[in-house]
Amino acid sequence: MEYINSYFWIFLVIVGALASVYILKRFIDLLTGKLPYIIQPSGLFSHAEKKFYFQLEKALKYEFRIFAKVRIADLVAVAPHLSGSAEMRFFNKVSQKHVDYVICNKKTLDILAVVELDDTSHLRKDRMERDEFVDKVFKAAGIPIIHIKAQGHYDIHLLEVKIAQGMYKS
């Protein structure tokens, strides 16, 4: 029994020492102004988003520019006739939201459409409410929004047709 107690105390000393080193390192980082950021381990895209991006490029025949993970507030503006507080309220509703992809004219970079890649998270109630609001925002701004269900494989021709229908519907 005494034998186990001595190992327990040694274990506690080691854990305490490691915790002290960790806390000291964090304290030094704060004092030196080192910020606690690292490169995003998953990269810019999830595996599904990356896969879809390359398929979207093919479907658009490389004739358009595609931008990814764009903040909605960079795509739409609040109409100028509102009061300052109303304008800020509507801006705040979109300022922290992003869309998956934006299709732009290759030469002018004019916005032609928005593409949302809908995975299973879009079946959640909160996500469906968010999608409904975002759809209304883009309708009000006159920007087509195209929802594509995330899949393991994309038929390029069908993707091309769906994008064209979404971009050019009246």
Q: What tens digit of pLDDT does each residue of 48-88 get? A: 999 999 999 999 998 999 999 999 999 999 988 878 788 89
CA distances from 163 to 30, 97, 120, 135, 142 (A): 49, 22, 21, 16, 16
pLDDT for the residue 170: 52
- Cβ atoms of 97 and 162 within 8 Å: the answer is no
| Beta-bridge mates of residue 111 | 104
Dihedral angle of Cα 89, 81, 145, 59, to the nearest 10 degrees: -120
- Cα 10 off chain centre by: 46
Reported as a single tens digit per residue, the pLDDT across 96-131 is 999 999 999 999 999 999 999 998 888 899 999 999
Reported as a single tens digit per residue, the pLDDT across 23-53 is 777 777 667 777 887 888 888 898 899 999 9
* Sequence spans of domains, the chain: 1-37, 47-168
1 pLDDT more than 60: no
- Cβ atoms of 95 and 26 within 8 Å: the answer is no
